[in-house]
Structure 1
Amino acid sequence: MLTVAADPRSPHVPASASDRRPHAVVIGSGFGGLAAAVRLGARGYRVTVLEQLDAPGGRAYVHQQDGYTFDAGPTVITAPFLFEELWTLCGRRLADDVDLRPITPFYRIRFDDGTVFDHCGDAEAMRREVARIAPDDVEGYEAFVRASEAIYKVGFEQLGDVPFDRWTDMARVLPDLLKLEGWRTVHGLAARHVRNEKLRVILTFQSLLVGGNPYSTTAVYCLIAYLERRWGVHFAMGGTGSLVRGLVGLIEGQGGALRCNEGVREILVENGAACGVRLASGERLAADVVVSNADAAATYRDLLPAQHRRRWTDRRLRRARYSMSLFVWYFGTRCQYPDVAHHSIVLGPRYRPLLDDIFRRKHLADDFSLYLHRPTATDPSLAPAGCDAFYVLAPVPHLGAKVDWRVRAEPYRQLIQQRLEETLLPGLGAQLATSRLMTPQDFQDRLGSVHGAAFSFEPVLTQSAWFRPHNRSEEVDRLYLVGAGTHPGAGVPGVLSSAKVLDRIVPHADALRRPDAATDDDRHDRHESPHAHAAHRLA
């Protein structure tokens, strides 16, 4: 795991004094920030990535403990072509650095009554599984898949990397969204096609993977079902951290730099344009463009001074709806559980009432539904020989629930352990070799997420596309946003696509080298400000 900042004296990282390329500063090294850095480097920028933690990755940080390797966050890799594009921009192949393996089943779903459903990408196998638990819903299921495909082709292929800068951008796609029934919820669209309650859960739980309640999230997110079928679910050998390390290598190969243990205190603004950042240490870095991969709400609330904000005021941020949070338990066992799939969903006795507790009532219930990740099912090297590495997460309310996690964390972990012992991991307590926890408080304190929300703004219709914080900041020129809190939203494909949007809205570095060659109209069309070079006055 990469644990130190890139050395600016390295021959692969030119010093700013000798590198005359326009400078881009990227705040945060999550997948969105790293992808943005690669794309900016390919467009002629000298890039500096600033990370407040001691190693890159953000939510994709890697924990090493007692011989076990734990990916802190993302474990489901879909749309691998989005990673491949980044390697191609650098004249390389993804396979040069990362070994992605397809996973089947995608998820093994266990209902509270013991019913098991293997969710996979094979159409015929899925028909058989559906017929086994809901024989009257096979045709309805296939109709849902067709609806998911239609939404995918518009919502992901056509709009996933398109900026929504103006309300007219939203108005232009509104007819398509209405035609595709985007006004429905995820659960509402599934319920329109199938009647069996278990099948409805199977078709809707994926919205929780991007922070959305299937009973309130726009049906546009039903595209996830077809995205997974079209591209599969993959795992990076060595863990998700191998993708992080590969992206850092691409950035350094472009002459960019990663600086860890460097928190940003403020985005600097001059004449209406972002011109650099001030670090927690007091150091000021000049920049021609600034890209924030920090939590979108925190970017505006904490990093951009209030006098520069007209839309994302403190009042508006307080009134916004935020996603749920997560309770994550990472643990290693002294034995192996070979019958446990790579990805398991362990559902509790309640579904909608539990989601109401999490999203609406902000109540921490004693029951839960769990996602269990067993990466050693695919890559045994992530644990000592004969052992297994796991993490299990439970969706929980964000910090608006006023839960004191210093008190509640261990009792809640014990409840989860008991549930796992009763279902998939008998004798777990006696086999535990190592353990660590992450709570909503950690999402706030360690990752800088407002309210400890694990996925930033909740993906309801009124907080999607144009209604979300824009990729090109509405507040100041030369400031751009990537990551879960901006368009198109959370999830690895979403944050990678948010970085792809930059190709459409950030001027090419060559345009900044020749400011006098552009007319005022040209600057407006490319979103270039007459103040583009204010940053250099900070240097």
Structure 2
Amino acid sequence: MMTRVDPRLADEAARALAPHAVVIGAGLGGLASAMRLGARGYRVTVIDKLDMPGGRGSAITKNGHRFDLGPTIVTVPQIFKELWAACGRNFHDEVDLRPMDPFYEIRWPDGSTFTACQDTNAMRAEVARLSPADVAGYERFLKDSESRYWFGFEDLGRRSMHKLIDLLKVLPTFVRMRADRSVYAHAAKRFKDERLRMAFSFHPLFIGGDPFNVTSMYILVSHLEKEFGVHYAMGGVAAIAQAMAHVIEEQHGLLRYRSEVDEIVIEDGRATGVRLTGGERIDADIVISNADAGHTHTRLLRHHAAKRWTDRKLAKSRWSMGLYVWYFGTKGTAAKWKDVGHHTILNAPRYKGLVHDIFIKGKLADDMSLYVHRPSVTDPSVAPEGDDTFYVLSPVPHLGHDNPVDWKTESATYRTKMIKVLEDQLLPGLSDHLTEELIFTPEDFRDRYLSPYGSGFSIEPRILQSAWFRPHNVSETVPGLFLVGAGTHPGAGLPGVVSSAEVLDQLVPDPETIQAARR
């Protein structure tokens, strides 16, 4: 008599025998990695100290106001489409992505403005309005940006750079494209007007870089914006994170929140699992760390001698700036401030001097440049009806400088200064409408995200901290350990961290290889 086997039990048995991958951190890099590994046939466990997925891309809701804590824009939606496709799914069936038009408005203290959008003719007209003599320079800048996109993003950014030979092969292209020149220096070659130099050089600040020192390869962002547009996910980036977590769960992956990894377990010279802060051990065939690369090396691998990323080397590295972010709600303002759109950038009187204070001197300046996010003009779900929700970000020094800022004493004063800037330049009468609020300082980034020095974007993307020079996606120290996220290759920002999972997918062994080695 033939015994019938319940196919569901057979599937469960097969999953139990599948190689186990532990992912440390449920940021978007970790979630993307878990999705790709699950699609490959791995049994995946994701561990995060927060109570929700997303990491910096999570959200907090207070009395009807949803505060999206981190990234606010999507610039390369095909990265997500390809990720979902690798899992046999359609991204747009699960995430509602809306194009922004215009992208953002830049304002200067003298009252002049610049509106960025996708249409080339409209952008050409904006350049001409501020400086007719710079239109030809704008055309050249666009060509420069496109060539660096194809090389820096589509080539280097989507493959591993852990072998020195890979670096040596591309050095001639780096030289030809003047990668030694800074983003600002390249913009200054193409534009005479100082406002346009700022408008086409500030983008590295969105990934933690000093425009006056970060390699000019990052002018590729201008091509990203022009070619693919700027988008907003309804429900915020947190909605993307939730959708990613849903895919992982449907792949039968496990997401463990409110659990913190204390160390990566190493036996016989390779990673064999993790140990949580409470002492629990979780065994694994491979370990992927989406924790900050600095935290991974200094804390999670503290009992294992580093070959390259020693505590001393990490301490000497250049780190991205810190962030002071004020999230607040306003009452009855949905029809107020009609000239304030979804994204606005307010410039301080100084550009180079302020950036120098933040990145080099580690000095908290009296003046500030602000990024203002007003998602309620696009997404009604972020605030009660008739109200608004805002997110205002100011770049500030990280905590690793001499005499770091004591935010417990400085935060309230800085908030007062920020209100004055906002009321004077963008939101008159703001103080009369404030309701809910939340403030994150570099100390919160250090404690909530375990970010070294409270830096907003991990290691700064200078030329000698990019590509091969950046922490690799495959550990140089421990076999079986892989790294993804902002502190690894290719870098910070949504396209960077999601691409790091694509690179990981090229590096991890096939599940069949691991199973064969067990036999």
**What TM-score does the superposition give when structure 2 sets the normalisation length?**
0.96
**Match for residue 284 of structure 1 among 281, 285, 288:** 281
What does residue 356 of structure 1 align with? Answer: 356
Misfit runs of 4+, over 3 Å? 14-18
Is contact 2:26–2:290 with CA below 8 Å preserved after alignment?
yes
Instruction: Write the distance in 2 (CA, Å) between the matches of 1:491 and 1:238.
Output: 19
Partner residue of 2:430? 428
* Whole-angstrom distance in 1 between the partners of 2:193 and 2:15: 65
Corresponding residue of 1:441:
443
Shift of residue 304, structure 1, vs aligned partner: 0.5
Which one of 464, 468, 471 corresponds to residue 470 of structure 2?
468
The one-letter code matched in structure 2 to 1:441 is E
Answer yes or no: is the 8 Å Cα contact 1:327–1:396 preserved in 2. yes
Equivalent residue, structure 1, for 2:381? 381
RMSD: 1.5
Q: Measured at CA, do residues 411 and 265 of structure 1 come closer, stay the same or move farther in structure 2, by a change above 3 Å?
A: same
Partner of 1:399: 399
CA distance in 2, matches of 1:318, 1:406: 24
1:259 corresponding residue in structure 2: 256
Is the 1:346–1:371 contact (alpha carbons within 8 Å) kept by the matching residues of 2?
yes
1:303 pairs with 282, 300, 304, which one?
300
Deviations 1:126-153 (A, max 9, x none): 0000000011010001101100000000
**CA distance in 1: counterparts of 2:15 and 2:136, whole angstroms:** 65
Shift, 1:76, TM fit: 1.4
Structure-1 residue corresponding to 2:245: 248
Report how far residue 499 of structure 1 moved.
0.8
User: Which residue does 1:347 correspond to in 2?
Assistant: 347
Partner of 1:216: 213
Quote the Cα distance in structure 1 between the aligned partners of 2:100 and 2:18: 42
Which SS does the other structure have where 1:47 is aligned? strand
1:75-96, CA deviations, whole angstroms, 9 ceiling, x for partnerless residues? 0111111111122122221121
Corresponding residue for residue 239 of structure 1: 236
Aligned to 1:270: 267
Conserved 8 A contact 1:295-1:456: yes
* Structure 1 residue 308, shift from structure 2 partner: 3.3
Task: Name which of 58, 63, 66 aligns with 1:61.
Answer: 58
Change (3 A) 1:116 1:310: same
The equivalent residue for 1:116 is 113
Q: In structure 2, give the amino acid aligned to 1:305.
A: R
2:105 partner amino acid: R
- Percent identity, aligned pairs only, is 51
The answer to whether the 8 A contact 1:78-1:233 is kept is: yes
Tell me if the contact between 1:37 and 1:47 (Cα under 8 Å) persists in the aligned partners.
yes
Distance 1:50 1:15, change over 3 A: farther
> Given residue 252 of structure 1, which amino acid in structure 2 is its aligned partner?
E
Partner of residue 535, structure 1: none
Per-residue Cα deviation, 1:446-474 (whole angstroms, up to 9, x for no partner): 11000001111111111111111100010
> Which residue identity is paired with 1:428?
L
What whole-Å deviation, never above 9, does each CA across 1:331-356 have from its counterpart, x for those lacking one?
01011233211010000111000000
Contact 1:338 1:377 in 2 (8 A): no
Describe how 1:38-117 pairs up with structure 2 within 5 A: 38-117=35-114
Q: Give the secondary structure class of the aligned counterpart of 1:181.
A: coil
Q: Distance in 1 between matches of 2:350 and 2:201?
A: 15
State the 1:281 CA deviation: 1.2
Separation in structure 1 between the aligned mates of residue 285 and residue 175 of structure 2, nearest angstrom: 40
Return the offset for 1:400: 2.3
Verify the 8 A CA contact 2:33 2:505 in the aligned structure 1.
no
- Describe the shift of the 1:312–1:15 C-alpha distance in structure 2 as closer, same or farther (beyond 3 A): farther
1:381 and 1:279 map into 2 onto residues whose CA distance is 36
Distance in structure 1 (CA, Å) of the matches to 2:225 and 2:266: 41
Secondary structure at the residue paired with 1:113? coil
3-state SS of paired residue (1:499): helix
Shift of 1:167: 1.4
Partners of 1:381 and 1:499 lie apart in 2 by 30
Identify the match of residue 325 of structure 1 among 318, 322, 327.
Answer: 322
Q: Secondary structure at the match of 1:285?
A: strand
TM-score by length of 1: 0.92
Contact 1:70/1:391 (<8 A) preserved:
yes
Task: Find the partner of 1:173 among 170, 175, 181.
Answer: 170
Contact residue 329 and residue 390 of structure 2 kept, 8 A: yes
